[in-house]
Amino acid sequence: MQNGSDVRYVNAPGRAPAAWPWIVATAVALLALLLLLAMGFQQSPMMSAAFVIVLLGGALGWVLDSRSRARAHSEQLTRVHEAVPQAVAPAIAQAVMQLTAGILAQSWPAGDSGGSAPQVINHRPPQAIAPQLPARVVNVPRNIVYNQAVPANVAPYQPIEIETITGDDDETPGETIQVPMNHLMRFASCPTPSRSEWQGKPQGYTNASRVFLSHGMLDRTNRGGFSWKAEYPVQSRRAWLAQYEAKALGAGAGEAPLLG
């Protein structure tokens, strides 16, 4: 005869076996969340959400089915229900892990942990190294003229001056004047030309204006100044001077004056 304290319910499932379905469901839910992040919810939200919903629905259905089976067959299948979660849970976890690994392998290249921005590597191809050839040595003998060293085959620089005769509209008609080429180029660049646009000594401005006035490029104004004629813009004025500059560089000693 057994006492009340000796009564045991051998078919009643324990707390640990009854909690197995919820443990597995929680693990599946966490894996589903990881899969949702791995598949890129922002890139394909519909596919990711559908996959996670199907996975969670299957896990919830499996939990409800397990609990209903445990309640209906608690007396006959107590030991079976205790063993089923222990046998099924590792298989489900392994299958989910394999599926996760496959998705991650297709989503990111090897060596990338996922979610990181692509790295741009500034790769420079190897440059071919030119062989170091021996230097070519050119002997330059010294050129001595009257006990003074001068460079050979080089003409010394000589400033170019334009020589011309003033016209009838000049203050002194028929006078021969000489004006440096750089003064004439500077005067030709003046837009008006007015004395305020000139940079240099006033005598240089006066001499340059006499050259252009004698050759018909300037008109006198009522205020005593000058103005360029419309048919001689700055390009024409510079081209006119450039021809005599080239002639001066190629001219030899003893030739006729540049301008008549």
The region of weakest confidence among 46-50, 100-104, 180-184 is 46-50
Note the pLDDT of residue 4.
Answer: 47
The region of weakest confidence among 125-134, 163-172, 200-209 is 125-134
**82 and 166 assigned to the same domain:** no
Residue 163: give the domain boundaries.
159-250
End position of a domain, from candidates 107, 124, 143: 107
Note whether residue 142 is domain-resident. Answer: no
- Where does residue 146 fall: left (phi above 0), alpha (psi -120 to 50 degrees), or beta otherwise? left
Note whether residue 146 is domain-resident. Answer: no
User: In the predicted model, what is the mean pLDDT of the chain?
Assistant: 76
Q: Which among 246, 244, 236, 257 is positioned nearest to 178, based on CA atoms?
A: 257
Report pTM. 0.42
**92 and 177 assigned to the same domain:** no
* Structural domains in the chain (count): 2
Q: What is the DSSP string of 158-223?
A: ---EEEEE--TTSSSTT-EEEEEHHHHHHHHT-SS--GGG--S-HHHHHHHHHHHHHTT-EEE-TT
**177 and 98 assigned to the same domain:** no
Note the pLDDT of residue 180.
Answer: 95
Q: Is 90 exceeded by the pLDDT of residue 78? A: no
**146 contacts: CB under 8 Å, gap ≥ 6:** none
Note whether residue 188 is domain-resident. Answer: yes
Note whether residue 140 is domain-resident. Answer: no
The region of weakest confidence among 118-122, 194-198, 240-244 is 118-122
Note whether residue 114 is domain-resident. Answer: no
- Between 177 and 115, the more confident residue is 177
End position of a domain, from candidates 79, 107, 135: 107
- Residue 226 three-state SS: strand
End position of a domain, from candidates 91, 107, 123: 107
**174 and 240 assigned to the same domain:** yes
Note whether residue 87 is domain-resident. Answer: yes
Note whether residue 96 is domain-resident. Answer: yes
Note the pLDDT of residue 155.
Answer: 78
Return d(Cα 10, Cα 78) in angstroms, integer. Answer: 8
Q: Which among 167, 165, 162, 259 is positioned nearest to 213, based on CA atoms?
A: 167
Note the pLDDT of residue 214.
Answer: 94
